[in-house]
Amino acid sequence: MRVLLLKTGVAVVLLLALAPAAWTFAQGPDGQGPAPSEVQAHYTKGEVWYDGAWVRMAKLLDDCRKARKAIEAEVDDTAATRDRVSNITKTLAEMDAKYRADRVPVEHDLAQAREKGLQAARVLAQPPPAKPSYSHGDGDRNGRSRAEIQRENERRQQQYQAALNQYQERRQQAQNNLNEAESAAKQAAGKLEKLYADYKAGQKPLLTERTQVTQDARSTQGRVGAHQSTILRIAAVLAEAPEGVRARFGVVEWQKSFWSIEELKDLHTSLEAEIRAGRKEAERGLADKNQSMPSTWTHPRQAEADALKARIAGAEADMQKAERAAE
């Protein structure tokens, strides 16, 4: 792949491996292309065979220019789209992290409520104390009197009643605890449901937007591909024209594409402006550090600007030479 530098300095990656030739000379007027006898006459007029017709090279250069400008605009849109997708993804991640964090205390409350309910259920499942057995009669084999037996029965009854009272108290407390646990568990579950509903509601518009933005990005890629195809097809046609013909009509090859001299001059002007702006920025940065600009400082694109300037000068010289030869 080759990076094609547009007027504003935006780098657009183009697949500039030359496509198969867009036309071939036919052996005669059979609809397959121009006959060899026609070619030179059309070359003299600055025309080449493109898409089944003779087309001025100036028009093809203009089509290339428009395609490059369209790609430049699409690249700007693509950068904005990429930033938006990144922001959406970041926001979704933040929402997910917040949702998970908000769930933690609620899940803790739910777990406590469930444990409290289980403990209460265990108490409620306990059987009541067994009823005591009582002695009867006027005496027993141990020589106890009727009064002693009566006192023993009363003692057993008191112990049973005390145990029964404690059991009932524990049971009542367990029932209260169970009611509280069920209520707390229901509230916690409701909070979790609301958290989830709010989380999904917040996600929905962002997910919808991300899907739309992604689809737009694919459409943009398709349009960029179509513009790239136009540039490649035109480049293939212009490459077939003799170099002298291209020179006469100001068709200049630069960075694996074809440009008009005026367009290259505009590109050079833009590049020089970028270099001047870069130098001023560097000077300000050094001034903030109380440092002076070194005499050896060179902008990273200075060599490119120099090469472009030389290419323009050479193209103008070639154009003049070709025009003199055609006279």
Structure-model confidence comparison of residues 194 and 25, the more confident one: 194
Band of pLDDT at residue 142, cut at 50, 70 and 90: low
Query: Can you say how many angstroms the Cα of residue 299 is from the centroid of all Cα atoms in its chain?
Result: 32
The HSE-up count of residue 122 (CA atoms within 13 Å, CB side) is: 6
Band of pLDDT at residue 4, cut at 50, 70 and 90: very low
For 245, other C-beta atoms within 10 Å of its C-beta total: 20
Percentage above 70 pLDDT, the chain: 87
Backbone angles phi, psi at 12, to 5 degrees: -120, 125
Assigned token pair, 10: 């935006």
Give the integer Cα–Cα distance in Å for 180 and 184.
6
Cβ(6)–Cβ(274) under 8 Å?
no
Assigned token pair, 181: 């646990």
Assigned token pair, 308: 């472009």
Q: pTM score, two decimals? A: 0.56
Find the DSSP H helices in the chain: 36-44, 57-124, 146-240, 243-248, 261-288, 302-326
